Amino acid sequence: MAETEVLPDIEQDEKTGEKSSLEPGWLVICWNDPVNLMTYVTHVFQTVFGWNKQKAETHMLEVHRNGKSVLARTTMEKAEHYVHQLQKYTLHATMESES
């Protein structure tokens, strides 16, 4: 299975100092809740990110044991896409800026 897409770093806008929506720097986070089945969460990670089972299980266990797992660091648009996908499966996922 394919690994998570790695997007190239894009330089910060030197004039404004603001981040563009294309700049990597957004985190996709999955939060623990006591209702989703562990096998279901693993399956969803495999489906949404194209991860192999081992990588999906690693992130699932991180969610389960630590309360959350950062699933991707990417652009704002990609992060929104991933959050939409995860929420379609009723997982508790959010995005936040690294800054």
Pick 7 or 43: Cβ nearer another protein? 43
Query: Least separation, in Å, of the C-beta of 29 and another protein?
Result: 8
Query: Least separation, in Å, of the C-beta of 43 and another protein?
Result: 5
CA distance 41 to 50: 13
CA distance 26 to 80: 9
Which spans of this chain sit near another protein (rule: CB under 8 A)? 33-40, 42-43, 47, 57, 61, 64, 80, 83-84, 87-90, 94-96
Pick 36 or 75: Cβ nearer another protein? 36
Pick 6 or 88: Cβ nearer another protein? 88
CA distances from 7 to 26, 33, 35 (A): 12, 30, 33
